[in-house]
């Protein structure tokens, strides 16, 4: 009896000692220094949260770090996050943001270099194309963020619509030139008119002429669609004196064309955000769409798309000026990730940033059609896996790279979000026929002047001066005479 | 109800003590913030620019009334939504109250069932109807297509006009039960003898309605309309979920526009001014309404 | 003479049968009208509930599938796990319960002061009307600034305080009504026995007007459960309520998250259904006078 008691006691003692000892021998030194940490991320849409979930497991296995992601809807995102930062704190460690808003966000982000030195992090900076490097990394010279989603607009079309002999005959008869993916805006508008209201896929369904997203928003939908025309007609956001040029003849012409062609778009287009027109494209309901590059992944997704292998990819239409076609696709640099300076877990968050930005992990994210994230690394564009992931994926990747020399960024100055929001709102007002294009753009220009005054005209002028210079270096300038002579 | 005449003397401080917790809370959480908001409306506090602010007098108010097309349009939108909603709610509510008044069996349960839409949040009502109006898979369009009444692709929110119609429809669905209950209470307070004597006199249903029911309901209807009108000026949650002000700014109500100014632009002072303009507007509306009531009563006398 | 009598009798019989037919038609029309009303007012809920139980191929099918033949709770499970539905449902529950309790605790003594001692004269109804006219947007702007400074955003306490105070006027008003009907002799008896005022309130009055308290409590619960503007401005990731959760399913059209959207609507309207059935008799009084609007 006493012996069993003693034995039991010894066993308990051993168990206690083992329990006391084991945790200390748990992975401590070197292997996973941040194990057990949870960092908080903030993003602006459910699919961004989903994209993070793709790499969460490997992150946890490799580093023992968990991510807790909060979603703040798009419309309130910039305002809410900036409010927190401006009051000197933030509940988040990892912050997703729109790089066009870097002037407003940049000072709240932790520069990467000291951490790269200290922790020997590797971000493969050379593996980023110039187009994104210029826009998505730096604030006042220092690198404070890594790209997460490289957004530009390219054109997608339904090959069936353009290659059916019947369609070709009808088009040539009516418009006098060959049916082919549009290269100019005039061609786009004529083809939208042509395709609208009948079964250009050979069925007897009533299909639509073209797709677009005309909802107003801060990272603007209608505004992005409009400015592809606006810039190809020689437009510019402000002149060198910070006067808003968004009601210039180029602007009015662009908006006028959009209002006139409204009937050729699906009825709900004024409320479309990014995904609705893409869905219509891949379901064969619209023959052409220019939109974010993430469309391509959905086009090739066999589960959803009926145009797998039957789609074309190219550069957004432009304007014919003096015999040459000027393309100005929108660069709407989707998303970057940064570490907040108010974070209590900066090192762990840096580690996470390194992980999700690594070529392998980021490739996973940009290849998945449900994440809506777009390729941003050179290696993404060269990856065999990506090129073979769906039919013509290589042509899709090439179209993106072909567009790089022509892309136009947002006005990357303080209050960028507000400028875009107010302009986008007025554009949609005109599209909804609540105002004439001139009235709408005049209102927008007046709003822009108000914003400039509120933020300090001189400050804005200085920042804008730098942007103007950068754009000039890649050949994007204000050409007031183009609006009249563009064909 | 007689005043308490207790043998025990009432302590002077007791009423105040009893009421003080709520008085204190109301002072701190309602009165003070309202005063602060008025103070702010005379300054230029703009969180997107910085933490400081200066006195600017009535500039915010003049800008809102004479320089802010979006705000003025939102006032118009609010009116455009209020008028048809009020009329529909009154007529429908009256009809339902009359029907319900004739039901004897199961009235409590039917009343409870019909009251439910008015007891759910406007946000929930809007979400439910937003799904119902879904273009491809919503119940309404599905039904329409099944019965051949609707075209393949009818979007209930595609134009400003349709969006307003849809909002009014959801509003009416949401709040007619309220009006119905108010009018039912009114109907039940009409003495039965009046109906008896009318029947004896050989009056038809119509005559009874026009000469007995309606006049005696006038006061109840006025109360109902006034309450609903005031509530409709606050329309926010429904808009937020159903259209978010779109297409463009076609369905932005005053409360919604003020919200955007305050919590998307973070221009707190300007938003406070807008809010006080709304309060002023509601006050004017209420006074006008009460004056009209008094005028009609004086004329009837 | 006999023929004339016979004629009058036939005529009156015809009049009677016309009346009977009229009455039957009246009944049929009445119940038909009620039936149509029930379909119109409750139909949407029916569709939302069935949609929340549908599988993908049911929802996206045409001809439309109205009732799924294999209903499943998968959407609710996903709402509770992926979309943190459980946490937000509990938030709403906790916040509404606390606000309801706090409102009653603070309002009852005030109502007592008014009912027994005519505290404040006839100010109460004026206050009520004024507060009814006040749009929440006027209050939320300064309150947001104050809360931010005090660190009360994204906290239960902040929202509970705001909700409690917003509901005090209604609670007081309803309770004054209940208290006025309360016979004062019972109180007097208790106080002669040595009870203090407060004691008599708590130990004698409360148990007897408990049903009335329950009515006010339930209406307060619903009003705070349904509240949206304050919730959307003052809550954060931890404290979001069901009302705010539902708005995260509106982007990109309602088709992408139809399951979570419909499930969250079902959960969001549960209290309304429960309270409607529980308080059938009080609906006219409470609802008609605005007791369920925050």
In terms of CATH architecture, what is B27-300?
Orthogonal Bundle (1.10)
Domain ranges of chain C: 2-59, 76-288
User: How far C3 CA sits from the closest chain B CA (Å)?
Assistant: 27
Are B113 and C276 inside 8 Å of each other by CB? yes
- List beta partners, residue A152: A331
Are B264 and A76 inside 8 Å of each other by CB? yes
Residue B153 near chain A (CB below 8 Å): yes
Phi, psi of B121 (to 5 degrees): -70, 145
Q: Chain B partners of C188 at a C-beta cutoff of 8 Å?
A: 4, 6
Are C135 and B117 inside 8 Å of each other by CB? no
Domain ranges of chain B: 27-300
Rounded to an integer, what distance in angstroms lies between the CA atom of residue B200 and that of residue B215? 20
Q: Chain A partners of C154 at a C-beta cutoff of 8 Å?
A: 91
- CB contacts under 8 A, C 86-125 vs B, are 106-107, 109-110, 112-114, 116-120
CB-based contacts of C103, cutoff 8 Å, min separation 6 = C163, C164, C167, C168, C171, C220
DSSP A244: B
B–C interface: beta-carbon pairs under 8 A: 279
Cα pseudo-dihedral B3, B5, B8, B11, rounded to 10: 30
Residue C145 near chain B (CB below 8 Å): yes
Sequential pLDDT tens for chain A (487 residues): 455 555 655 566 555 554 444 343 344 445 678 888 899 999 988 788 889 988 998 999 999 999 988 888 787 788 888 888 887 778 899 999 999 999 999 999 999 999 999 999 999 999 998 888 888 888 988 999 999 998 899 999 999 999 999 999 999 999 999 999 999 999 999 999 999 989 898 888 888 999 998 888 766 789 999 999 999 999 999 999 999 999 999 999 999 999 999 999 998 898 888 888 998 999 999 999 999 998 999 999 888 899 999 999 999 999 999 989 999 999 886 899 999 999 999 999 999 999 999 999 999 999 988 888 999 999 999 999 999 999 999 999 999 999 999 999 999 999 998 899 899 999 999 999 999 999 999 999 999 999 999 899 999 999 999 999 988 988 899 999 999 988 8
Q: Which of C236, C247, C248 shows the shortest C-beta gap to A91?
A: C236
Q: Which of C236, C247, C251 shows the shortest C-beta gap to A273?
A: C251
Residue B256 near chain A (CB below 8 Å): no
Q: Which of B49, B152, B247 shows the shortest C-beta gap to A428?
A: B247
CB-based contacts of B91, cutoff 8 Å, min separation 6 = none
Q: ipTM > 0.90?
A: no
Phi, psi of A240 (to 5 degrees): -65, -15
The CATH class of the A153-331+407-485 domain is alpha beta
pLDDT at B53 over 90: no
Residue A45 near chain C (CB below 8 Å): yes
A–C interface: beta-carbon pairs under 8 A: 24
Is C16 strand, coil or helix? helix
CB-based contacts of A392, cutoff 8 Å, min separation 6 = A300, A309, A311, A312, A313
| Token code pair at residue C154 | 């994204």
Subunits with 3+ Cβ pairs within 8 Å of A are B, C
Q: How far is CA C258 from CA A278, B126, B246, C35, in A?
A: 18, 14, 21, 29
Are the CB atoms for C108 and C175 separated by under 8 Å? yes
- From the candidate CATH numbers 3.30.70.260, 3.10.20.30, 3.40.50.1110, 1.10.3720.10, the one assigned to the domain spanning C76-288: 1.10.3720.10
Q: Which of B155, B157, B263 shows the shortest C-beta gap to A76?
A: B263
Are B158 and A271 inside 8 Å of each other by CB? yes
Domain ranges of chain A: 38-149+333-393, 153-331+407-485
Are the CB atoms for B36 and C146 separated by under 8 Å? yes
Q: Chain C partners of A91 at a C-beta cutoff of 8 Å?
A: 154, 236-237
Are C252 and A273 inside 8 Å of each other by CB? yes
CB-based contacts of A217, cutoff 8 Å, min separation 6 = A74, A75, A273, A421, A424
In terms of CATH architecture, what is A38-149+333-393?
3-Layer(aba) Sandwich (3.40)
Q: Chain C partners of A94 at a C-beta cutoff of 8 Å?
A: none
Phi, psi of A70 (to 5 degrees): -105, 140
User: How far A37 CA sits from the closest chain C CA (Å)?
Assistant: 18
């Amino acid at each position: 009896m006493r012996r069993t008691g003693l034995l039991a006691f010894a066993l308990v003692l051993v168990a206690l000692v083992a329990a006391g000892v084991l945790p200390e021998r748990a992975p401590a030194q070197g292997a996973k220094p941040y194990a057990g940490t949870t960092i908080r991320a903030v993003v602006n849409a459910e699919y961004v949260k989903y994209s993070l979930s793709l790499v969460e497991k490997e992150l946890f296995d490799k580093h023992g770090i968990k991510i807790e992601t909060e979603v703040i809807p798009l419309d309130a995102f910039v305002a809410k996050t900036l409010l927190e930062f401006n009051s000197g704190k933030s509940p988040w460690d990892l912050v997703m943001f729109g790089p066009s808003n870097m002037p407003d966000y940049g000072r709240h982000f932790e520069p990467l270099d000291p951490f790269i030195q200290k922790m020997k992090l590797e971000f493969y900076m050379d593996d980023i194309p110039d187009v994104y490097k210029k826009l998505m990394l730096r604030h006042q010279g220092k690198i404070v963020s890594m790209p997460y989603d490289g957004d530009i607009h390219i054109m997608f079309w339904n090959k069936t619509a353009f290659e059916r002999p019947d369609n070709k005959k009808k088009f040539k008869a009516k418009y006098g030139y060959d049916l082919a993916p549009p290269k100019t805006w005039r061609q786009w508008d004529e083809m939208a008119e042509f395709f609208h209201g009948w079964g250009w896929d050979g069925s007897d369904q009533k299909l639509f002429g073209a797709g677009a997203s005309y909802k107003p928003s801060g990272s603007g939908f209608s505004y992005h669609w409009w400015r592809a025309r606006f810039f190809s007609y020689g437009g510019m956001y402000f002149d060198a004196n910070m006067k808003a040029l968004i009601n210039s003849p180029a602007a009015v012409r662009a908006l006028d064309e959009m209002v006139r062609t409204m009937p050729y778009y699906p009825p709900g287009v004024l409320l479309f955000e990014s995904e609705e027109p893409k869905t219509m494209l891949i379901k064969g309901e619209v023959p052409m769409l220019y939109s974010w590059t993430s469309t391509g992944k959905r086009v090739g997704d066999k589960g959803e798309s009926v145009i797998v292998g039957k789609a074309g990819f190219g550069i957004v239409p432009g304007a014919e000026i003096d015999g040459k076609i000027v393309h100005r696709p929108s660069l709407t640099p989707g998303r970057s990730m940064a570490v907040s300076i108010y974070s209590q877990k900066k090192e762990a968050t840096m580690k996470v940033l390194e992980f999700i930005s690594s070529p392998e992990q980021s490739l996973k994210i940009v290849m998945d059609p449900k994440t809506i994230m777009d390729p941003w690394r050179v290696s993404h564009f060269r990856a065999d896996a990506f090129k073979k992931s769906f039919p013509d994926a290589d042509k899709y990747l090439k179209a993106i790279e072909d567009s790089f020399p022509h892309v136009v960024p947002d006005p990357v100055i303080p209050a960028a979000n507000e400028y875009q929001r107010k302009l986008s709102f007025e554009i949609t007002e005109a599209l909804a026929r609540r105002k004439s294009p001139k009235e709408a753009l005049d209102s927008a220009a007046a709003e822009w002047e108000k914003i400039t005054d509120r933020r300090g005209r001189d400050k804005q002028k200085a920042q804008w001066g730098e942007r103007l210079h950068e754009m000039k270096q890649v050949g994007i300038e204000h050409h007031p005479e183009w609006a009249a002579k563009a064909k | 109800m007689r005043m308490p005449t207790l043998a025990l003397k009432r302590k002077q401080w007791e009423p105040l003590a009893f009421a003080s917790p709520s008085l204190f809370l109301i002072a701190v959480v309602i009165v003070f913030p309202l005063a602060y908001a008025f103070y702010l409306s005379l300054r230029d506090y703009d969180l997107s620019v910085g933490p400081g602010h200066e006195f600017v007098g009535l500039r915010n108010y003049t800008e809102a009334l004479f320089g802010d097309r979006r705000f003025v349009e939102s006032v118009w939108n609010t009116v455009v939504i209020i008028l048809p909603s009020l009329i529909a709610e009154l007529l429908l509510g009256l009809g339902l109250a009359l029907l319900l008044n004739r039901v004897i069996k199961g009235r409590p349960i039917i009343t409870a069932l019909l009251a439910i839409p008015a007891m759910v949040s406007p946000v929930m009502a809007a979400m439910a109807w937003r799904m119902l109006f879904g273009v491809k898979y919503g119940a309404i369009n599905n039904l329409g297509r099944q019965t051949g009444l609707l075209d393949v692709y009818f979007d209930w929110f595609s134009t400003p006009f349709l969006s307003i119609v849809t909002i009014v429809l959801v509003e009416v669905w949401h709040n007619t039960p309220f009006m119905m209950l108010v009018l039912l209470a009114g109907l039940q307070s009409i003495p039965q003898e009046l109906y008896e004597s009318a029947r004896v006199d050989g009056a038809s249903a119509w005559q009874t309605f026009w000469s007995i029911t309606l006049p005696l309901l006038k006061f109840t209807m006025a109360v109902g309309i006034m309450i609903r009108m005031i509530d409709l000026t606050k329309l926010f949650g429904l808009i937020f979920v159903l259209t978010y002000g779109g297409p463009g700014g076609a369905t932005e109500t005053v409360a919604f526009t003020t919200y955007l100014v305050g919590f998307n632009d973070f221009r707190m002072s300007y938003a406070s001014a807008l809010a006080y303009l709304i309060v002023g507007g509601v006050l004017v509306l209420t006074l006008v309404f009460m004056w009209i009531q008094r005028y009609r009563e004086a004329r009837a006398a | 003479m006999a023929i004339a009598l016979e004629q009058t009798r036939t005529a009156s019989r015809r009049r009677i049968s016309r009346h009977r037919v009229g009455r039957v038609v009246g009944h049929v029309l009445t119940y038909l009208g009620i039936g149509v009303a029930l379909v119109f007012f409750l139909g949407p809920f029916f569709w939302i509930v069935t949609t929340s139980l549908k599988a993908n191929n049911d929802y996206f099918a045409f001809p439309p599938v109205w009732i799924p033949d294999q209903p499943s709770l998968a959407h609710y499970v996903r709402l509770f796990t992926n979309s943190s539905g459980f946490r937000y449902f509990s938030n709403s529950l906790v916040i509404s319960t606390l606000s309801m309790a706090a409102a009653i605790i603070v309002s009852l003594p005030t109502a007592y002061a008014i009912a027994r001692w005519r505290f404040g004269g006839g100010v109460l109804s004026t206050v009520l009307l004024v507060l009814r006219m006040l749009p929440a947007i006027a209050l939320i702007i300064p309150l947001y600034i104050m809360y931010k400074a005090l660190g009360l955003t994204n906290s239960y306490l902040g929202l509970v305080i705001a909700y409690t105070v917003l509901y005090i006027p209604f609670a007081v008003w309803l309770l004054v009504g209940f208290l006025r009907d309360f016979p004062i002799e019972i109180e007097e008896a208790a106080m002669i026995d040595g009870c203090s005022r407060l004691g008599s309130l708590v130990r004698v009055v409360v148990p007897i007007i408990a049903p009335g308290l329950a009515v006010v409590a339930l209406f307060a619960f619903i009003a705070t459960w349904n509240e949206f503007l304050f919730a959307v401005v003052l809550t954060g990731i931890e404290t979001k309520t069901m009302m705010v959760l539902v708005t995260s399913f509106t982007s990109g059209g309602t088709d992408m998250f139809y399951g979570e959207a419909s499930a969250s609507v079902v959960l969001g309207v549960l209290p309304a259904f429960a309270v409607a059935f529980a308080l059938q008799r009080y609906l006219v009084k409470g609802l008609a006078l605005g007791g369920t609007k925050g």
